[in-house]
A and B are shown apart, each in its own frame.
Chain A
Amino acid sequence: MPRNEPAIHTEALTKTYRYTEQQPGLAGAVKGLFRPDRRERTAVDKLHLTVPRGQIIGLLGPNGAGKTTTIKMLCGLLRPTSGELEVLGHRPAKRGYDFLSRISVVFGQKSMLWWDVSTYDSLLIHREMYAIPKPRFANTTKDLAERLQVQDILNIPVRKLSLGQRMRCELVLALLHGPELLFADEPTVGLDVVAKLSVRTFLAELNRDLGTTIVLTSHDMNDVAALCERVAVINHGRTIFDGDLDALRSRADAGVDADLDQVMSKLFTEAADA
């Protein structure tokens, strides 16, 4: 992919979920058998987003805003209902090897490590999956383990690790194959302050040293303030703000030092009232 092409480009990206609504009680359940009340909910509504290579962008929004659905479409988990979507020059929903070997995903609430074996065993599986040559595997593992300070826990079964240790090991696994694009979905959720700081510092170094594009979703505004040069705020599936943190504060008529939680809260309240 040419360097000047964006890492992510979407045009009118839309995702609609179909579901059946059931009225309460036994009568509602019986009625639902014969006349199901089928509904549609638009989770992402004509989203326009372009992310240049090497950028850290924060996708922000309240629960149910459509951030996770957007991320799921960007990494190929969900097929868009309509609109255009290109990530690293590929259509993610096709989930080809060339696409999947250039991205990585870290879910804060879902482990990518194999639970019953050690992190090192998981790394060996990824070495084969991504066809990583042995010398590169050894060097990358050593480098990532040192940066994330997990050298001493790589051989411990994952189920015996603390949450903070596990998240650092998740990052080693996610970055072993040197992805150009990392989706980090709430990577610091549940972590203590020391572990949070360690993850943040590492992501910033990753972006600075290797130019990895990072799409971050987080409810922790300290993560966003520390990492994101740009934020896209999504509400009801639509982008209600796209810019840097200073512009975000200006948009909410807040000062340069204003608390970002209050800024976001004001933005969502205004959007709800509009």
Chain B
Amino acid sequence: MRLARVLRILVIREVTIMLHYRWWLAMLQLSNIVAPAISLLVWRGAIAQGSTPPVTETFLTTYLVLVSVVAMLPSSWTSGFLADSIRLGGLSSWLVRPCSTHLNGIANNIGEKVVKLVLLVPLVAVLGIIFRTEVELPPLGLRWLVFAVSLLMAGAMTFSLDIVIGSLAFWFEDVTAVNRLRYLLARILSGSLIPLALFPAAVIPFLNAQPFRFMVSFPLEVLIGHPSGQAFALQVGWFATFVGTAVVSWRLGLRSYQGAGA
């Protein structure tokens, strides 16, 4: 209860601060929707020319209309801030208070999402209206509920990965290269740029098993496709692995913390 109240007030503070950066965030959302919109135009053009992708046109269109918002919701940008706070000693101010720095990280991500959602939803709605004949969403019900659960697990996975990468700063001077590699891999392997189903058939078994799929593509598959029960089990497995690794790396890292600058 206490933590819920702390989270609430931290989110309010984050939203207040984010509103100062509303134009920057608006431009960011515009750029986030451009890539899937272009991809949508290219694929629809290819289909019109006679190309036959391994998924239906309805699935492809709905996927690319929704992907920017579904990729944004479970995303996290905590690793860089966390690494800086470890390296420069800012973490000390959290460690002496009865509140985890990760609660602040969660609040920061939620606050950012609240503002981004307000900016992104109208853009996605416009895209949806343009391609309304090929966009098909399931009726409200169990599928949406499972989608929400899958999305929450995806968010927990990305946040946990952020903690693992940020925690590397306990031992290494700079984690920006690791972060850059992670974002590159995530962009390609999560399905946020191109639906994974459109990759060559030879790499599909690998793409279906790797963890980045469960951060963007899988929640969308839950909503507009028909994933197997085995795939759900795999997401739960990756979720547990990521959260467990984050807990272990954080605890080990704290033992090495030197609280620079205080």
Give chain A's interface residues, CB within 8 Å of chain B: 17, 68, 72, 75-79, 95, 97, 100-101, 103-105, 107, 109-112, 114, 116-117, 121, 124-126, 128-131, 185
Contacts and interface: CB of A to CB of B under 8 A. Distances in A.
Contacts of B98: 97, 100-101, 129-130
B96 A105 contact: yes
Contacts of B99: 129
B97 interface: yes
A62 B13 CA distance: 40
A100 B93 contact: no
A113 to B, nearest CB: 9
Given A101-B98, A129-B97, A131-B2, A78 B9 contact: no
A76 B6 CA distance: 21
Contacts of B254: 79
Contact of B17 (A79, A117, A124): A117
Interface in B175-224: none
Contact of B259 (A72, A114, A121): A72
Q: What 5 A-B pairs have minimum CB-CB distances, sorted nearest first? A: A100-B98, A128-B5, A105-B96, A128-B6, A97-B98
A125 B259 contact: no
Given A121-B16, A128-B2, A131-B5, 8 more contacts: A72-B92, A75-B96, A77-B96, A79-B254, A79-B255, A95-B95, A100-B97, A110-B262
Nearest to B98: A100
19 contacts: A72-B92, A76-B96, A77-B95, A78-B258, A78-B259, A95-B95, A100-B97, A104-B96, A107-B262, A110-B90, A110-B261, A111-B93, A112-B97, A121-B13, A125-B10, A128-B2, A128-B9, A130-B98, A185-B262
A124 B99 CA distance: 14
B13 A117 contact: yes
B262 A68 contact: yes
Interface residues of B, number: 26
A110 B5 contact: no
Contacts of B258: 17, 78
Interface string B82-104: 00000001101101111100000
- Residue in B90, B254, B258 whose Cβ sees the most chain A Cβ within 10 Å: B258
Contacts of B144: none
B147 interface: no
Contacts of A68: 262
Nearest to A99: B98
B16 A117 contact: yes
Nearest to A43: B258
Interface in B65-95: 89-90, 92-93, 95
A124 B262 CA distance: 25
Nearest to B4: A128
Contacts of A112: 93, 97
Interface string B1-33: 010011011100100110010000000000000
Contacts of A100: 96-98
B257 A125 contact: no
A125 B6 contact: yes
Contacts of B13: 114, 117, 121, 125
A95 to B, nearest CB: 7
B253 to A, nearest CB: 12
A112 B2 CA distance: 20
A76 B257 CA distance: 11
Contacts of B8: 128
Contacts of A185: 262
Contacts of A125: 6, 9-10, 13
A124 B89 contact: no
Given A110-B89, A124-B9, A125-B6, A76 B262 contact: no
Contacts of A97: 98
- Residue in A76, A110, A121, A131 whose Cβ sees the most chain B Cβ within 10 Å: A110
Contacts of B6: 125, 128-129
